[in-house]
Amino acid sequence: MTIDFKGRVAIVTGAGGGLGRAHALALAARGAKVLVNDLGGTRDGSGGSASAAEAVVAEIRAAGGEALANGASVTDFAAVQAMVQQAMDAWGRVDILVNNAGILRDKTFAKMELADFELVVSVHLMGAVHCSKAVWPIMNAQKYGRILMTTSSTGLYGNFGQANYGAAKMALVGLMQTLALEGAKNDIRVNCLAPTAATRMTEGLMPEAVLAALKPEAVVPAMLVLVSQEAPTRTILCAGAGTFEAAHITLTQGIWLGTDALTPERLAQRLAEVTDRAGDSVPQSGAAQGSNEVGKALENAKRAA
């Protein structure tokens, strides 16, 4: 099976360098028309210039592809709507959205200013919300869409000094879960990618030898699969250095303990049973958790009768 994107239109945010650039180039190389979005700011989100996006567009065109540059900030919904309209005016559709734009403002939670927390959430979470909201009616109308959220191991598993980044990145998983359910009837598939890649965002965070192994291009295959015609949906793929894994939010079997005055003590005593991962599952919706809990309560009531 060959993955190709001939006839498809893709928008990649934060695509002026690093991972976003690699995504845009790979999509274009496989036939997609690509709108390259990048604010052109620094790693912490300050400043702005269209030159980064324009340089990637020039690379795509030099290789024989079609591309447009856009310098909108994903935090500005009106600018995002105009960006999507730019793609529609040029190519008449939007098939793929890769939400890649992001910034870092790392500090321990004790030292972090709330403004830095809010800005990181605004760029990563609300930026993805704005872009997804702007393409959603288009994808619904054409009954086809592929949306990729860029989550992170920091969101999935935590990382010292990145409370703001981790909170935003895990929120994107929750956004994916519901959008995938709501988009299913119109073949809108929504997934998450947790990349480990050496980019401007990771400078100074890892040893040089490690950074050398973590080329952004090594993550790209996971992106291509997650936005392809045969893509899964509600999947979290992790990728780095040529290795690919899947992450899951699972639910243990759990135990029924009742709701009387001594339930807290019983729960404390039997917590190891509650957290035992033997037989855990990946619920297909949030309601599945409630079904599991009510089901165990009904089983207990039946036994007691």
Find out whether 163 and 117 touch, Cβ atoms under 8 Å: yes
Closest CA to 246 of 234, 229, 254, 256: 234
The Cα angle at residue 195 between residues 162 and 80, in degrees rounded to 5:
80
Q: Which residues belong to the active site?
A: 165
Find out whether 262 and 239 touch, Cβ atoms under 8 Å: no
DSSP 156-169: HH--TTBHHHHHHH
Closest CA to 16 of 88, 96, 76, 103: 103
Find out whether 241 and 218 touch, Cβ atoms under 8 Å: yes
258 three-class SS: coil
Query: Which stretches of the chain are DSSP H helices?
Result: 18-29, 51-62, 77-91, 114-121, 127-142, 153-157, 163-183, 208-213, 220-226, 263-269, 271-275, 287-304
Closest CA to 197 of 237, 242, 165, 231: 242
Secondary structure of 111-135 as H, E, C letters: CCCHHHHHHHHHHHHHHHHHHHHHH
